[in-house]
């Protein structure tokens, strides 16, 4: 009888039954004189004692502005120390911090402010081409709950802190005594492929424990210094980053307001970072810098690569050239706080490149038949589901959409296609919506992408399905070449695949692109790739029949 694709993370280490504010206070007490936060762009740094005081100043300021327990406080800013202070200050006053993507424009901002009922918004003034103050003023009249806006690097920020000076700290202590670890503390809007994004609502218990156990598996101690070029508005930065760091007394290093490969390497070198986070495209960008080898990265030992699968060739370079021998692959989603599976420090290269690791402590995962819901056997593909402390409270004020994602037994249905091997290691083989059905054959893009990454001319590749009259769908490879001046033809690609891939997996179409459409968090927008490719093929077909 086949072993079912189910596993649970057993451990003797209990879950943290406390709030984020209480956990930070415990760390401040133990490691007050150690570095907590470094912002390399501005040269500012805080010890844990200093950071704890800074967080309290912001928390008192929020109380002075009338922020009540359960009120939603928005944060619309690029990576900066104030972002982190707001994260912990809102947790201390019992507010629900609402993360807003810095790339949002007016209509998206208005939706989040209205849907979450944000009463106080903390925002950047500007960054690159974004004028946040102007956009806030454009939507303010349509957001009746929004009563106050505080801008970072602006008199309104110093005004917030000054207001707090008139508040008795005993009021903060009284407020904290009424906060429970299962109270909501964070709303994160997940990228919707249709319609507006949904607000995944997470508790102190959800994200504090997830950050803690991610850090445990990375072997974090107070001696670690973690470079965070990933965005704070996403779970990668604020949970796997900030909460994993503060729960272990380690130090968070901010290389730049948004991802800058050169600034990241400089930060690792100057701050002697032991850990570095990023999505694969970030690591590809750092490795591709002309002066990459000039940077001293010998202090690195670990880090996290997540967001999308890592090509084997990239992982080899990260381990050898970036000295990240203990780098972990993490898999998860916003709705699960986010991490469900993670590779371990002693896993070999095959585990790190071929799987997303094993289940985290205190969490269950299983692989089910998407049609029947029955658990499939080991090695069989199906939908990955996860259950445990990490599953969100729900989508903010959207019970029907919550019920579509979380079933009656509290299993979160991820929408990802996966397999589980006999040792419990999970491999993501694609999204249910990304799976290509070519002439009745199920084709998983990830398998073809892994193979095409071995082509000497290809730096990066995404495989998508495009409409086809004969087979329903055909396979297209969208590639970025190592040398932009080089060329690659579809016939050349087909010859490379012949005899190594099944004939029905060989891409029928090829597009050479200078870059892929990306989200701010570094994920490739496959939906947009498919839309563009379909338009190109349709235009080509029309041109071919036009007399």
**H, E, C per residue of 301-337:** CEEEECCCCCCHHHHHHHHHHCCCCCCEEEEECHHHC
Distance CA 331, CA 210 (A): 12
Q: What is the CATH number of the domain that holds 90?
A: 3.40.50.980
- Return the pLDDT at 542: 82
- Return the pLDDT at 130: 92
Q: Is 56 a domain residue?
A: yes
Q: Are 71 and 97 in contact (CB under 8 A)?
A: no
pLDDT tens-digit series, residues 285-308: 999 999 999 999 999 999 999 977
- Return the pLDDT at 292: 98
pLDDT one digit per residue (tens) for the chain, 547 residues? 789 999 999 999 999 999 999 999 999 999 999 999 999 999 999 999 999 999 999 999 999 999 999 999 999 999 999 999 999 999 999 999 999 999 888 988 999 999 999 999 999 999 998 999 999 999 999 999 999 999 999 999 999 999 999 999 999 999 999 999 999 999 999 864 345 789 999 999 999 999 999 999 999 999 999 999 999 999 999 999 999 999 999 999 999 999 999 999 999 999 999 999 998 889 989 999 999 999 999 999 999 999 777 888 899 999 999 999 999 999 999 999 999 999 999 999 999 988 999 999 999 999 999 889 999 999 999 999 999 999 999 999 999 999 999 999 999 999 999 999 999 999 998 888 888 888 777 788 888 998 999 999 999 999 999 998 888 899 999 999 999 999 999 999 999 999 888 888 999 999 999 999 987 667 788 889 999 999 999 998 887 665 5
Q: Is 478 a domain residue?
A: yes
Q: Are 365 and 331 in contact (CB under 8 A)?
A: no
Range of the domain at 513: 436-545
- Return the pLDDT at 192: 47
Q: Is the entire prediction scored with pTM above 0.75?
A: yes
Query: Could you say which of 140, 164, 180 is where a domain stops?
Result: 180
Distance CA 178, CA 167 (A): 18
Q: Is 100 a domain residue?
A: yes
Cα–chain center distance at 541: 39
pLDDT tens-digit series, residues 104-136: 889 889 999 999 999 999 999 999 989 999 999
Query: Could you say which of 130, 161, 180 is where a domain stops?
Result: 180
Q: How far apart are the first and last CA of the chain?
A: 62
Residue 40: phi, psi to the nearest 5?
-70, -30
Q: Is 161 a domain residue?
A: yes
If DSSP codes are grouped into helix, strand and coil, which group holds residue 172?
helix
Strands 118-123 and 96-99: unpaired
Q: What is the CATH number of the domain that holds 495?
A: 3.30.300.30
Q: What is the DSSP letter of 505?
A: G
Q: Is 400 a domain residue?
A: no
Q: Is 170 a domain residue?
A: yes
Distance CA 241, CA 47 (A): 17
Residue 252: phi, psi to the nearest 5?
-95, 130
Q: Is 276 a domain residue?
A: no
Into how many domains does the chain fold?
2
The sign of the CA dihedral 107, 113, 117, 119 is negative
State the Cα angle at 118 between 117 and 121, rounded to 5°. Answer: 165
Q: Is 411 a domain residue?
A: no
Query: Could you say which of 180, 209, 226 is where a domain stops?
Result: 180
């Amino acid at each position: 009888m086949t072993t079912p694709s189910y596993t649970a993370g057993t451990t003797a280490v209990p879950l943290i039954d406390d709030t984020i504010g209480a956990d930070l206070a415990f760390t401040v007490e133990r490691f007050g004189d150690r570095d907590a936060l470094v912002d390399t762009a501005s040269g500012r740094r805080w010890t844990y004692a200093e950071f704890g005081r800074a967080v309290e100043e912001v928390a008192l300021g929020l109380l002075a502005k009338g922020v009540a327990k359960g009120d939603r406080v928005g944060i619309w800013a690029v990576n900066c120390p104030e972002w982190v202070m707001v994260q912990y200050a809102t947790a201390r006053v019992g507010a629900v911090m609402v993360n807003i993507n810095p790339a949002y424009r007016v209509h998206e901002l208005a939706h989040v402010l209205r849907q979450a009922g944000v009463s106080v918004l903390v925002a950047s003034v500007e960054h690159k081409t974004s004028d946040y103050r102007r956009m806030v003023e454009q939507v303010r009249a349509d957001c009746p709950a929004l009563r106050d806006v505080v801008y970072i690097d602006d008199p309104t920020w110093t005004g917030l802190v000054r207001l707090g000076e008139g508040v008795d700290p005993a009021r903060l202590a009284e407020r904290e005594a009424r906060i429970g670890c299962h109270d909501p503390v964070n709303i994160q809007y997940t990228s919707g492929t249709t319609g507006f994004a949904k607000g995944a609502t997470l508790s102190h218990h959800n994200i504090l424990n997830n950050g803690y156990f991610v850090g445990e598996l990375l072997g974090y101690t107070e001696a670690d210094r973690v470079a965070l070029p990933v965005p704070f508005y996403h779970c990668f930065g604020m949970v796997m980053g900030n909460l994993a760091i503060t729960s272990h007394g380690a130090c968070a290093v901010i290389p730049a307001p948004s991802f800058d490969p050169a600034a990241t390497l400089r930060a690792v070198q100057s701050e002697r970072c032991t850990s570095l986070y990023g999505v694969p495209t970030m690591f590809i960008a750092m490795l591709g810098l002309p002066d990459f080898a000039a940077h001293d990265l010998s202090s690195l030992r670990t880090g996290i690569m997540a967001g999308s699968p890592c090509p084997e060739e990239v992982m080899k370079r990260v381990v050898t050239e970036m000295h990240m021998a203990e780098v972990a692959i993490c898999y998860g989603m916003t709705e699960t706080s986010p991490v469900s599976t993670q590779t371990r420090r002693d896993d070999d290269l095959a585990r790190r490149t071929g799987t997303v690791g094993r289940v985290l402590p205190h969490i269950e995962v299983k692989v089910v038949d998407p049609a029947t819901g029955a658990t499939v056997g080991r090695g069989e593909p199906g939908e990955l589901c996860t259950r445990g402390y990490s599953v969100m409270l729900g989508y903010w004020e959207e019970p029907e959409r919550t019920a579509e994602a979380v079933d009656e037994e509290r299993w979160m249905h991820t929408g990802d296609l996966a397999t589980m091997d006999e040792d419990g290691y999970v491999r993501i083989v694609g999204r249910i919506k990304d799976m290509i059905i070519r002439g009745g054959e199920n084709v998983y893009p990830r398998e073809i992408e892994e193979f095409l990454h071995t082509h000497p001319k290809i730096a990066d590749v995404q495989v998508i399905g495009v409409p086809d009259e004969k087979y329903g769908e055909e396979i297209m490879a969208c590639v970025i070449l190592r040398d932009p001046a080089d060329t690659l033809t579809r016939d050349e690609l087909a010859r490379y695949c012949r005899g190594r891939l099944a004939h029905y997996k060989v891409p029928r179409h090829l597009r050479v692109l200078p870059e892929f459409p990306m989200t701010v968090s570094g994920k490739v927008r496959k939906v947009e790739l498919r839309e563009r490719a379909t338009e190109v093929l349709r235009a080509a077909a029309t041109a071919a029949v036009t007399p």
